Amino acid sequence: MTATEQYQIPLLKDVILATSLPLMIDVKSEITVDFICDVLQATHAVSRALIVGGNAIAHQKARSRLPMVQLGLTWNELIQPSLEVIESCHYDYFNPPWWLLMEQDSEEPKLRSDTVAEMHNHGVRVSVWTRIIVNARTTIEAEVERANLCRQFRRIKSFIGGELCTIRGTL
């Protein structure tokens, strides 16, 4: 038996029915939105779902199908999204990588230092994400990466006033 035959990726419905925990569903394409909305409605899981990703068209479609679903805009750009984008979907969360919110002595563009306050003024919570990829590194190097991440997490938590932050990543 091959690894592919041994393991099967569960269906979204099966995952929802297997747990009562909150769900974060990363939507990459608007093609999947109708299916996701149908499953969330059929399983009565809309109230514990957070649909995230960087696809505003998919989010608009989800918002029109499920007005009460929580939405989070994952952001990878160096400039702040326009308020039109934020307001078009009535986002609940703005989710940039943590380093875009840090003060930097650099000529490179980044999100403005008042990004968090501006999002809060529009009723949008801010969470941050990071990704650490450790390939062929020693255990000591991985522990140094983890310690640095923890220090940076404390700095960003302090910067945004202690609001809930999330770290997603791989070690």
- Confirm whether 157 is domain-assigned: no
- Confirm whether 14 is domain-assigned: yes
- Confirm whether 154 is domain-assigned: no
- Confirm whether 70 is domain-assigned: yes
pLDDT in tens, the chain (171 residues): 565 566 678 889 999 999 999 999 999 899 999 999 999 999 999 999 999 999 999 999 999 999 999 999 998 887 788 888 898 899 999 998 877 776 665 555 566 667 888 899 999 998 887 765 545 445 555 555 555 555 555 554 444 444 444 444 332
- The span from the CA of 85 to the CA of 71, in Å, is 12
- Confirm whether 164 is domain-assigned: no
For 14, the token pair is 């099966």
Taking alpha carbons only, the member of 10, 27, 7 closest to residue 73 is 27
- Confirm whether 139 is domain-assigned: no
Strands in 49-53's sheet, in edge-to-edge order, are 23-26, 49-53, 70-74, 93-95, 125-126
Q: Which range marks the domain in which residue 110 is found? A: 3-131
The enclosing domain of 82 has a CATH number of 3.20.20.190
Residue 158 confidence (pLDDT): 46
- Confirm whether 170 is domain-assigned: no
Residue 23 confidence (pLDDT): 92
Count of structural domains within the chain: 1
- Confirm whether 148 is domain-assigned: no
Q: Please tell me the pTM assigned to this model.
A: 0.70
